[in-house]
Amino acid sequence: MRFDLNFYLIDHRLLALAMVAVLVVIVEIVYRAGTRWKDAPDSLRSQMSGIGAAMLGILGVLLGFTLSMAIARWDVRRDVIVEESNAIGTLWLRAGLLEEPLRKELRSALRDYTDTRIALGGSRGDLDAMRAAQSEGVALHAKIWSVVERADQPGTSPAILSTLIAAANELIDLHELRVASIENFLPAFLILLLPCITAAAVASLAWSFGATSERGRTPILLLTLLICAVILLIMDVNRPQRGAIGVGVTTLERVQESIAPAKP
């Protein structure tokens, strides 16, 4: 898990740049080596081409499988944020059923809690900021639950108290789901496996192209860049806090606006 976390914290654009550089060097070296085997038997060239095609088939399956896993995790992160926004809004409305000063105290805590959830989404790769937002959220859970406990008074309707408890429970439960969704990225070895198979596939094809002098190295280089683009997409989607294709916190920001204190 520690290796996965360290790998996740590395800028994926730098990883993609390094991957492209290494693969292009491999293609160039193997292609030049293939040009020295122009007299090789046709059976050997066919065998190398077949190996390259088979490796590309395996790579295609892995790319599709890995991308679907990354997108599934992305969907979960987005859904959790939407559920959390709805839970905050629900508890905010039900807080209106309480008498003062409990109503004001609970709504004030919910405003602060919304701010911490937005900060959690904006922590990017800053582990300290992420942990601070998590800690603040847990502290506010205690404050919110304290208000709910004090609402259990003889004059409070059991129906109101029941709905309040249910809404507060849902809000608190979603905290762990949110944190787990952020930490749920693909294993690093799976991401590293993709460029390794790519290297084997393009090396086989580059050798066969060099041995037969077919169209030079350009088609293999273009294929390599295309595969690298797909791997970069997977790495970007796999980074919930750092990727360009992030889930965002738009729904939480809308909630923040709706519960903001009215301007005088």
Q: Give residue limits of the domains in the chain.
A: 2-34+59-258
Q: How confident is the model at residue 156 (pLDDT cuts 50, 70, 90)?
A: confident
User: Residue 237 in contact with residue 70, Cβ under 8 Å?
Assistant: yes
What number is the average pLDDT over the span 229-237?
92
225: alpha, beta or left, given left = phi > 0 and alpha = psi -120 to 50?
A: alpha
198: alpha, beta or left, given left = phi > 0 and alpha = psi -120 to 50?
A: alpha
User: What pTM, to 2 d.p., does this model score?
Assistant: 0.83
Instruction: Round to whole Å and give the CA distance between 177 and 18.
Output: 34
Biggest distance spanned by C-alpha atoms of the chain: 96
33-76 confidence digits (pLDDT tens): 888 777 777 777 778 778 888 888 999 999 999 999 999 999 99
